[in-house]
Amino acid sequence: MDDYFMIEVEKVEDNEGSKSSTASKGRKQLTKKVIEYCYEPEMEETYRSSMLNAFKKTLDEGNFTFVIVDDRNLRIADFAQFWASAKRSGYEVYLLEAPYKDPTGCAARNVHGFTLDDIKKMAGDWEEAPPLYVRLDTRSLFHGDNLHEHSIQEVDMDTEDNDDADDTAVNTQSGSSKKAILESADDIPDQ
């Protein structure tokens, strides 16, 4: 979603690399075009609709077995159509929620220029997804891989039979396996 809020702006910079005689009298200024994030709340629904159309096109083209939609998804309505489209296209769909939901921490991490009050309002608008929306458990990504903490029993595998390894290999890449992950932004408490 952030890509829809990127705009081209002109920035004026001093040209410090110039060795001409004008550099000794004063620095020459250069105008550069750069891309910056500029949030426009009035455009959010239009951009979400455009993103949904692009998402559906991506699914229809079938070039990818794994698709990620990265957005705040404060309300169920924000991601329900993405979910339904992916399911209809045969994808396994997962929600990925940020593991932290403290507005103060989110405000400190945010790169979008939202104030703490903006983020508190978003946190107040956040809707818990019903259980039919399967969540991807990412706790081990954020808290190390402590097998005992997560009640996973460590098992020693017998490695003496290496001669038969090629016969028992499992293919983990299936062309028909599709996954779509609806991901939340890193700086907003959401789903």
Residue 58, pLDDT score? 92
Residue 110, pLDDT score? 81
Residue-wise pLDDT tens digits, 128-171: 888 888 888 877 766 654 444 555 555 666 655 554 444 433 33
- CB proximity list for 65: less than 8 A, separation 6 or greater: 175, 177, 178, 179
DSSP bridge partners of 181: 68, 94
Q: Edge-to-edge, what's the strand order for the sheet holding 179-183?
A: 66-70, 179-183, 92-96
Tokens read off for 111: 């790169």
- CB proximity list for 118: less than 8 A, separation 6 or greater: none
Tokens read off for 153: 């029993």
In angstroms, the CA 85 to CA 56 distance is: 7
Closest by CA to 87, choosing from 47, 138, 132, 46, is 132
**Hunting for tokens 């250069």 — which residue is that?**
30
Judged against a pLDDT cut of 90, whether residue 57 lies above it is answered with yes
